[in-house]
Amino acid sequence: MARTISVAALQTSYGEDMQANIDKTVALIRQAAAKGAQVILPSELFQGPYFCVSQEEKWFGTAFPWREHPAVVQLQPVAKELGVVIPVSIFEREGPHYFNSLVMIDADGSLMGVYRKSHIPDGPGYQEKYYFRPGDTGFKVWDTRFGRIGVGICWDQWYPETAR
């Protein structure tokens, strides 16, 4: 039996203040939920500007273990309060390694797991290989309150295995 879910994708500009960016995203999530969205997707790496246009060591200081990342910690209770699913894109640090990752938060606030971006671009305007290593999680699919959700991050879309 088919069912309909309402999905909102958030897109806005962000500065270098991580907390201000998280606060801005929470406000947008609340607006989307008030309009009936059940799955609300913030922008990729929304905690700051897209920093991968250059190689600057300072950005490594904005990476955290996924369960401790400020965006995850702060959006988890928002998901539970509003009863919405929030896939959260983060800059993740796992030991000495760094990943462009997505943490799936279900509508009850539970952390369902992490997906680490598999395909890292390297070309004009993309210095992602300086920051991220290819993911080691394989492609993920989660059974959320509102349905089954599979994820890929940005450059992953160009590879057919992402959708399989």
**Catalytic status, residue 44:** yes
Report DSSP letters for the chain, one per residue.
------EEE------S-HHHHHHHHHHHHHHHHHTT-SEEEPPTTTTSS--TTS--GGGGGG-B-GGG-HHHHHHHHHHHHHT-BEEEEEEEEETTEEEEEEEEE-TTS-EEEEEE------BTTB-HHHH-PPPSS---EEEETTEEEE---GGGGGSGGGT-
Determine which one of 16, 117, 129, 140 is catalytic: 117
**Catalytic status, residue 58:** no
**Catalytic status, residue 57:** no
Residues taking part in catalysis: 44, 117, 154
